[in-house]
Structure 1
Amino acid sequence: MEKKVLFIIVLNQTELLDELLLKFNDEVGQAATVIDSVGMAQHLSQLYEAKIFSTIKPLILSDHTENKTIYSVIPEKDMDLARETVKEVLRNIKKPDTGIMFAVPVLFQEGIRD
């Protein structure tokens, strides 16, 4: 079996979702799943809205209220291509409130077409 990785993108700039999925499909050629997500700091800020935390909230939180988490099982050999594709769309992933990406090894897969 060819080595695979689970490639994960947490996209804060949700307005780039369509562009990212189209480019990912064109360049990497793999299917992906998208789920709605929210960061821990954003969630906690809702819990502590009335507390002192709200005074520092603007310093640590962005204006976005949700993220999109995209994950795809891809061949390990395509990981660099996937990373470059994401960077092209996001332009500067190191900028705060843009997103993150990472990959983890896939030990096995079932139900995924090759």
Structure 2
Amino acid sequence: MKNKVLFIIVLNQTELLDDLLLKFDEEVGQAATVIDSVGMAQHLSRLDEAKVFSTIKPLVLSDHTENKTIYSVIPEDQLDLARQTVKSVLTDMGKPDTGIMFAVPVLFQEGIKE
């Protein structure tokens, strides 16, 4: 087995999901799974018990109430291509409320076509 990584994107700009998946399929050619997710700040902002958090809530909350988490097992040698593909759609990952991406090594895989 080639070295693989689990490539994960937490997308705050959910309106870009379709564009991102189409571009990822076109450029990287790997399957991905998308799940609905909610950031900790958004979740805690809904709790009445989080009184301390409520004082900083306006500083950390965005207009987004949910995220999309995308993950894909890709060959390690495609990691740079995958990152550039995401950046081409999201344009500026450094801006707040855009999203994050990261990768972790995959020690084994089963049920994934090579």
What range describes the TM-score normalised by the shorter chain of this pair? over 0.9
Q: Distance in 1 between matches of 2:56 and 2:95?
A: 20
Name the residue aligned to 2:83: 83
SS of 2:57's partner is helix
Name the residue aligned to 1:18: 18
Query: How much is the aligned-residue C-alpha RMSD, in angstroms?
Result: 1.4
* TM-score, normalising length: structure 1: 0.95
Q: Distance in 1 between matches of 2:53 and 2:41?
A: 11
- Deviation digits for residues 1-24 of structure 1, max 9, x if unmatched? 100000000000000000000000
Q: Distance in 2 between matches of 1:48 and 1:113?
A: 46
Asked if 1 retains the 8 angstrom alpha-carbon contact of 2:4 and 2:76, the reply is yes
Report the CA distance between 1:48 and its aligned residue.
2.9
Name the residue aligned to 2:7: 7
Q: Distance in 2 between matches of 1:64 and 1:77?
A: 33
Name the residue aligned to 1:66: 66
Identical positions, percent: 82
Letter in 2 for 1:79: L
Q: Distance in 2 between matches of 1:56 and 1:2?
A: 45
Letter in 1 for 2:22: L
Asked if 1 retains the 8 angstrom alpha-carbon contact of 2:28 and 2:81, the reply is yes
| Pairs aligned (count) | 114
